[in-house]
Amino acid sequence: MTNYTGSTPSHPRKPDWRDNATCASLDPEIWFPQPGDTAAVHEAKKACFGCPVMTDCARYALQTRQMTGVWGGLSEQQRNTLLKRRTPDPNTLDAVVHQILREEMHPITSLRDLWEDRTYPLPDPGGHIGWRADNESGSFNFQGHRYTPKQVAFLLDRGHKAVGIVRRTPECPVIECVNPRHLADGKERFDRKQAEQRAALAALEAAAAEPVEALAS
């Protein structure tokens, strides 16, 4: 028993987005699965993700407050959660729907996928890269491991995990930047400091040797 009644309006409706919907040629019961049947909800969503009018459907369901069924790829719970948080804004509704469904429509299967999905170029000149975070700290779990955006950037670029904390290099002034070329782990910072000290010592030795060379000439 589902919430779909099968009833039709007494007067034909005007042509609209529903005429191009994937579900128009399929059994309507698919989009009204039994409560708790997550597998059926998933199957309905997959059909929605290939529908040319998915966002129109989601917009209609949110604006008319459809409380049951899968509409525009959104489950009952997703729509209810969204409606509790905000009143749908027609100007931003499509973007909100795609944001909610982003991970379902484009599953993340690797850290490289995650990097491509979450990063974006910052407007500051200098090749700086930003990260779309889900929380204030920016850290997240992936396949049982905890990462920060800078750790992911370092790992993908260097091919190995960082030693110690990954921080921006002194040359990068942008706090949120995760460009791996602008980052260094504890070992790289130590090696750089050692190299700077050796260079400074060599410069001092060269400076001290100059008068002797001048006298000898």
pLDDT in tens, 57-69: 999 999 899 989 9
Q: Are residues 96 and 159 in the same domain?
A: no
Q: Which of 65, 80, 107 is the last residue of a domain?
A: 107
Mean pLDDT (the chain, rounded): 86
pLDDT in tens, 171-207: 999 999 999 999 999 999 999 999 999 999 999 988 8
Query: Which secondary structure element, helix H or strand E, spans residue 165, and what is its range?
Result: none
Q: Which of 65, 90, 107 is the last residue of a domain?
A: 107
In degrees rounded to 5, what are phi and psi of residue 171? -75, -15
Residue 205 to residues 41, 194, 196, 201, Cα–Cα distance (Å): 74, 16, 14, 6
pLDDT at 210: 73
d(CA 73, CA 175): 37
Average pLDDT value for residue range 6-34: 79
Q: Are residues 64 and 133 in the same domain?
A: no
Higher per-residue confidence, 144 vs 214: 144
Supply the DSSP symbol for 147: E
Average pLDDT value for residue range 35-44: 89
At 81, the pLDDT band (50, 70, 90 cuts) reads confident
pLDDT at 11: 62
* Number of other CB atoms surrounding residue 210 within 10 Å: 9
Q: Are residues 115 and 217 in the same domain?
A: yes
Tokens of 33: 């699965």
At 96, the pLDDT band (50, 70, 90 cuts) reads confident
Average pLDDT value for residue range 145-164: 94
3-class state of residue 156 by DSSP: helix
How many domains does the chain fold into? 2
How many Cα atoms sit within 13 Å of 178 on the Cβ side? 22
Which residues constitute the domain of residue 2? 1-107
At 82, the pLDDT band (50, 70, 90 cuts) reads confident
Q: Are residues 50 and 84 in the same domain?
A: yes
Residue of 117, 86, 92 lying closest to 102 (CA atoms): 117
d(CA 108, CA 212): 66
Question: Is 60 exceeded by the pLDDT of residue 8?
Answer: no
At 1, the pLDDT band (50, 70, 90 cuts) reads very low
d(CA 63, CA 83): 9
pLDDT at 143: 83
Q: Which of 78, 107, 136 is the last residue of a domain?
A: 107
pLDDT at 208: 83
Contact call for residues 3 and 29 (beta carbons, < 8 A): no
